[in-house]
Copies of this chain bind each other. A is one copy, B any other.
Amino acid sequence: MIRAYARSDPATSLHTVVAMIDPDADRPVYKQLADLVRGQIERTDLRPGQRIPAEQFYVAEYGISRDSVRRAMASLRNEGLIITTPRGSRVRPERHLAEVIITPGTLVTARMPTEPERRLLAIKEGVPVLVVQRDQGDPELFPADRTAIRATGE
């Protein structure tokens, strides 16, 4: 259960329900914040491409440490839900997937790229690679945020 309190803004007379974070809960603070922001993304309260509040916002809003905020954001990055740059974080934009055709016999797996592979292939955190092993040759790697695999009859 997510705790909340109601807040009124005297300037706008708007009432807002603000989720709370309970430092004494069983779930760690940083996971509570991750859950909260993940929920906002899944409900599209935060839409693809939209800016996510700065770390300091969450520090001030919930009275938690920057460390906890950063660990929450790291979780969301690793889930592929947000993208972070030194200018801030955004909800990951909608994916446009190019299709790669595979023929019968082809084997497909997925794994996370190593950090050097990420740099080499310009892959963001939280994005797996599809590993396509065709009958003979070496496995080919495709970033999963740009690629879908389509099976054909021949």
Q: Which residues of A contact B (CB under 8 A)?
A: 31, 34-35, 38, 74-75, 78-81, 97, 99, 102-116, 125-130, 144-145, 147-154
Contacts and interface: CB of A to CB of B under 8 A. Distances in A.
A149 B148 CA distance: 13
Contacts of A104: 151-153
A130 B108 contact: yes
A154 B105 CA distance: 11
B114 A81 contact: yes
B110 A130 contact: yes
Nearest to A100: B108
Q: How many copies does the complex hold?
A: 2
B153 A109 contact: no
Contacts of A125: 78
A109 B34 contact: no
16 contacts: A74-B74, A78-B78, A79-B112, A79-B114, A102-B151, A105-B150, A108-B148, A108-B151, A109-B130, A109-B148, A110-B128, A110-B129, A110-B130, A111-B128, A111-B144, A151-B151
A151 B102 CA distance: 7
Given A108-B130, A111-B144, 16 more contacts: A38-B115, A74-B74, A75-B115, A78-B78, A79-B112, A80-B112, A105-B151, A108-B148, A108-B151, A109-B144, A110-B129, A110-B130, A112-B128, A128-B144, A151-B151, A151-B152
